[in-house]
Amino acid sequence: MAKKPSKSKVFPIHILNGPNLNLLGSREPEIYGKTTLAQIKKACTARAKDHGFSILFDQSNKEGELVDMIQKARTKAGAVIINAAAYTHTSVAVLDALKMLTVPVIEVHLSNPARRENFRHTSYVAMGATGTIAGFGLNSYLLAIDAVADLLGGKKK
């Protein structure tokens, strides 16, 4: 009998992005850099492919839509990488949705919230995440894909 493929090989990595990230490249480039969300998506697609994975890449400015995306990931994702942006520090709803997941969850941030305003030092997302990568700009996302691949047994080409 043939071995059933693992969930991680069948389902894509869901990369979910919160409010205002659609304006990357022009929004506070001194904090977030000049890389656009489209450029991040392109780089993530290539990195995931190097590991033998596909991605689903999405963004919403609405908390409820982000929760819906996380809930969809319960049965459709091999892993979740999430930059909840401002909802990181405010949303118990996002935390509750993340706690329902049984796949790896990696929290990412372009900047390092620990070096910013005090209200950014608390992360509800971290309470539901396997791990956090922050402060490396675009590379935060790529490092998160590498971490997911390591957790799920992907292979780097």
66-84 burial string, b = 16+ CB within 10 Å, else e? Answer: bbebbeebeeebbbbbbbb
Contact 134, 31 (CB under 8 A): no
Residue 7, domain member (yes or no): no
Look at the chain and report how many structural domains it folds into.
Answer: 1
Indicate which CATH number applies to the domain containing 29.
Answer: 3.40.50.9100
DSSP 8-state assignment for residue 20:
T
Residue 3, domain member (yes or no): no
Residue 157, domain member (yes or no): no
Residue 2, domain member (yes or no): no
Q: pTM value?
A: 0.89
Residue 141, domain member (yes or no): yes
Residue 109, domain member (yes or no): yes
32: annotated active-site residue: yes
Q: Which of 32, 87, 124, 141 is catalytic?
A: 32
89: annotated active-site residue: no
User: In terms of residue numbers, what domain contains 87?
Assistant: 12-152
Digitized pLDDT (tens) for each residue of the chain, 157 residues in all = 333 334 445 699 999 999 999 988 877 667 667 889 999 999 999 999 999 999 999 999 999 999 999 999 999 999 999 999 999 988 999 999 999 999 999 999 998 777 676 766 678 999 999 999 999 999 999 999 999 999 998 766 5
Torsion of CA 125, 100, 70, 4, to 10 degrees: 120
Handedness of CA 60, 66, 70, 76 (dihedral sign): negative
Q: Which of 14, 51, 87, 109 is catalytic?
A: 109
Residue 125, domain member (yes or no): yes
